[in-house]
Amino acid sequence: MKKLLSQLTFWRGLLVLLLALGLYATYVRFTQGLGAATNLSDQFPWGLWIGFDILCGVGLAAGGFTLCAIVYIFNLKDFKPIVRPAVLTAFLGYLLVIFALMYDLGRPFRIWHALVMWNPNSVMFEVAWCVMLYTTVLALEFSPVLFEGLGWMKAVRVMRAITIPLVIIGVLLSTLHQSSLGSLFLIVPEKLHPLWYSSLLPVFFFLSALGVGCAMVIFESFMSSRAFKREIEMPLLSQLGRVMVVILLIYTVMKIQDLFDRHAFAAVFTLSLESTLYWIEMGFGVLLPMILLSFRKVRLQQTGLFVSALLVVIGFVLNRMNVSITGMEGWAQAGYFPSWMEIAVTVMIVALGFTAFALAARYLPVFPKAEPESQAIEAVHLREEKLALEMMK
Amino acid sequence: MARKAMLIDITLCVGCGLCRDACKQANGLPEGEETKLNANAYTVVQDWGDNTFVRRVCMHCENPTCVSVCPVGAFTKTAAGPVLYDEEKCIGCRYCMQACPFQVPTYTWNETSPRVRKCIFCHERLAQGLPTACSEACPTGATIFGDRDELIAEAQKRLQENPDKYVNHIYGLQEAGGTSVLFLSAVPFEKLGFPTNLPNQPLPMLTWNALSKIPNIVAVGGTALYGLWWIVNRRDEIGKLHAKLKEMEERDHSGEA
């Protein structure tokens, strides 16, 4: 008994509590229907499960294809040590998205219909195929880790041989999938608030996914370094910080240009619930981290980098919630707010994600043995100083 | 079969609700006097004051959004006009409800295997050569049934003959690419809850613009990614070869010395 109690840490206790709430909500959802478990209605058919679990889930998994492209296509081998955790996050992310989809679909046991009943005119059809195919690609991309853990070296060699085609297919599918989630909303020009509705929605969804992909890699590196008492790959993550500045800048420029093109600037400067949310999203989730990360000092410092990445993640989540929920509230006049059971299921899924990541990281060769951090930072400093000296010559 | 349609003249409607009752009977729905569409009411009559009553019903778009967005093709537009739903195909993603510009499809939220519910334009009656149940029940002629072309001509005639009585607009002639239910009104449509910010081209064009680019993205993107990898990797290999060559030369030199 005593032994059992000692293992019952705060986090484990919390996990059990969240699981219990989530399981109760699951029971209600599947025995009494969506009406009993959610606040969804005929006026507001898509809520938290689509807005957060699906839209954000897929976006937060974008680190996988971003890093795969960086390492295998652009051949920046320095980043290799953090590819595996990124691919793991993406793989788990997609599995959880499918898991969450089972709650949201009215008839989840018919999910296979999308395989045989085609409608190529439907963005949702594209989304369904992207989810299926990319989850398969992610499983294959992650499989060498499992094979290594099991000691099946022959299988590892086979997977290595097909790495490049696999990565290219993965990048293409991700590009399509991330952007198609934005395309979903192209069909509602009369419903979505003009601050967010744009014919460029697919492009914005893709770009912001690239940005948040990098941010998630930084975020999970920090979290796992704390959990597993691991050194952080600061030089690599700092460089990712710089990549983020460029992505966020392109995103900002395109967003401003788009407002001009659509003559929607007035909406930004009219005081309303929507414009306030828009400013919070753009100000704290895009502009602030972009400015912060443009300082070398911030990029090279753990807290600065972590806070900036966290801001980008929060901004990203806000954006997806604004497009799918708050941006639609004004039109629907339904006053939707998620029920506690919707929230309980979402929280349970996030908790499951953290747990699965922790277990995989503990039992599989996901993280490399990192070089001591102080040395690595010194190396960056030295290199940059050398460069500066050479330029002065 | 010529495309069928309904013309609803709001100025003639007295709000008796017989259309709603006839609809419920024809579709086997429980009785009730709903004012909002729901799974038990495929059509409702709304009181907007000043003796103005507005029917709400599926518009049966000419190029329906629901047909285009459904991932499994559960919706079809028939040649005669009705937009039909096949619940055997439906997976319950509710994109049709999210996307419908007229907010028509409703859901049986409290079923464990829920379905989308909406007006089916009495397609079985149409097949037998009968009009829709609601138009047959209408005592004032506010809802009439007929060929779409003829009803448009009739609406235009009424607008011409009584320009002072009507707002000069046939709602549904062009909205979202046109619909099979047409409205005439004395009160501006935006004041009666009609969406008036809809484009005149069919909404499915908006998503098709994005979807039609997929083959290009895959072909061009795939080639570009492979090309990039090829160039970058080759450069890397050549760099390695140069380094090796240099190393060998240096070794030779030191050997000579």
Q: Are A175 and A206 in contact (CB under 8 A)?
A: yes
Which residue, among A80, A54, A22, A283, has the nearest Cα to A181 in the 3D structure?
Answer: A54
Are A299 and A218 in contact by the 8 Å Cβ rule? The answer is: no
Could you give the ipTM of this predicted complex? 0.89
At residue A243's C-alpha, the angle toward residues A381 and A389, to 5°, is: 30
Q: Which chain A residue has its CA at the smallest distance from B226's CA?
A: A168
Distance from CA of A136 to the nearest CA of B (A): 18
Token pair 């409290």 in the structure block, residue:
B110
**What is the rounded CA–CA span in Å between residue B115 and residue B8?**
28
Residue B245 forms contact with A (CB below 8 Å): no
Å between B89 CA and nearest CA of chain A: 7
Q: Is B44 touching A (CB cutoff 8 A)?
A: no
Over its length of 257 residues, how does chain B's per-residue pLDDT go in tens digits?
688 999 999 999 999 999 999 999 999 999 999 999 999 999 999 999 889 999 999 999 999 999 999 999 999 999 999 999 999 999 999 999 999 999 999 999 999 999 999 999 999 999 999 999 999 999 999 999 999 999 999 999 999 999 999 999 999 999 999 999 999 999 999 999 999 989 999 999 999 989 999 999 999 999 999 999 999 888 888 888 888 899 888 888 876 65
Residues on chain B touching A175 (C-beta within 8 angstroms): 217, 221
* Contact indicator for B173, B148 with CB cutoff of 8 Å: no
Tell me the shortest Cα–Cα distance from B189 to chain A, in angstroms.
Answer: 15
Contact yes or no for B93 and A72 at CB 8 A: no
Contacts of A46 in chain B (CB under 8 A): 94, 98
SS3 A283: helix
Q: Helix or strand or coil: residue B212?
A: coil
Distance from the Cα of B39 to chain A's closest Cα (Å) equals 9
Q: Does B110 touch chain A (CB under 8 A)?
A: yes
The residue among A26, A70, A119 with the most chain B CBs within 10 A of its CB, best to mutate, is A119
Report chain A residues whose CB lies below 8 A from the CB of B69.
Answer: 121-124, 187
Domain residue extents for chain B: 4-202, 213-256
Does the domain at B4-202 match CATH 3.30.300.30? Answer given as no
Instruction: Pull the structure tokens for residue A18.
Output: 């969240």
Summarised one tens digit per residue, pLDDT across range B71-111 is: 999 999 999 999 999 999 999 999 999 999 999 999 999 99
Q: Which of residues 183-242 of B touch A (CB under 8 A)?
A: 195, 197-199, 203-204, 206-211, 214, 217-218, 221-222, 225-226, 228-229, 232-233, 236
Q: Which residues of B touch A199 (CB under 8 A)?
A: 206, 209
Q: Are strands B106-107 and B143-147 parallel, antiparallel or unpaired?
A: unpaired
Nearest residue on chain A to B70, alpha-carbon basis: A122
Q: What is the distance between the alpha carbons of residues A172 and A226, in angstroms, rounded to a whole number?
A: 34
- pLDDT tens digits for range B47-77: 998 899 999 999 999 999 999 999 999 999 9
A68 min Cα distance to partner chain B (Å): 12
- What CA–CA distances, in Å, run from B115 to A149, A225, B21? 46, 48, 22
Sorted by sequence, the CB contacts under 8 Å of residue B186 that are 6+ apart come out as: B10, B11, B52, B165, B166, B167
Q: Do A36 and B236 touch (CB under 8 A)?
A: no
Q: CA nearest A121 in B: which residue?
A: B68
Does residue B114 sit at the A interface (CB-CB below 8 Å)? yes
In the three-class reduction of DSSP (H, G, I as helix; E, B as strand; rest coil), residue B104 is classed as coil
Name the CATH topology of A43-361. Formate dehydrogenase/DMSO reductase fold (1.20.1630)
Neighbours of B153 (CB within 10 A): 12
Quote the tokens at residue B43. Answer: 């059509």
A212 pLDDT above the threshold of 70: yes
Question: pLDDT band for position A370 (50/70/90)?
Answer: very low
